[in-house]
Chain A
């Protein structure tokens, strides 16, 4: 049973560019959440997708957008990259069914460096 997968593993971009990160949820999961983890900090919630719609959003600017596909996979897009966007981007999947306090399973992350 494959866990959460993310691609690419590492990415280097320059300021002003755009980037797309991808996530495939754990089998049986239908909800995908994205987090940004700056160096030395805890993960910060960006947004969550369910049924192909953004359901919740954290305090991130509109430069951060996302999408969820019918197969539940998801993309995170960041436009007009800033140096401060350099971070580890984590994807987490969970199920809308079952236990109320469902566990979020995390992927290995994508390390984004903006030069």
Chain B
């Protein structure tokens, strides 16, 4: 069985601060994929980033970056220079193959204050 834990429930920062969202996952599969989604108040889940279990290279994409560590089963997501528009609920998710179901964490509510 798969499990995703997002221990942080709510984070509040002031605009332009950097913020890191934590994610810990559990799976017995050796091949798996990790995702971060953003859910603004409108409700639609917006895909942000994806990483597969074979690639631990950490990357930066604009203001987003992620730190994937298999040794600690963590997939943390960082927003640099946060903006008010980043305020949303952020979900970490896991799946173990093509078209397989996504297992989500409970989400982290991020509030960015001006």
Contact = CB atoms under 8 A, between A and B. Distances in A.
Interface of A: 31, 33, 35, 40-45, 48, 50, 55-56, 58, 88, 90, 92, 94, 96, 99-109, 111
A56 B96 CA distance: 13
B99 A31 contact: yes
B33 interface: yes
A56 B100 contact: yes
A14 B50 CA distance: 40
B106 A42 contact: yes
Contact of B102 (A41, A43, A88, A107): A43
Given A42-B91, A43-B45, A88-B43, A101 B107 contact: no
Contacts of A109: 43-44
A50 to B, nearest CB: 7
A8 to B, nearest CB: 13
B103 interface: yes
Contacts of B105: 42
Contacts of B85: none
B50 A103 contact: yes
A22 to B, nearest CB: 16
Contact of B98 (A41, A45, A100): A100
Given A101-B33, A101-B50, A101-B52, A108 B42 contact: yes
Contact of B47 (A56, A103, A111): A103
B101 A94 contact: no
Contacts of B98: 96, 99-102
Interface in B68-97: 91, 93, 95, 97
Given A42-B91, A43-B45, A102 B99 contact: yes
Contact of A104 (B42, B97, B102, B103): B102
Contacts of A94: 99
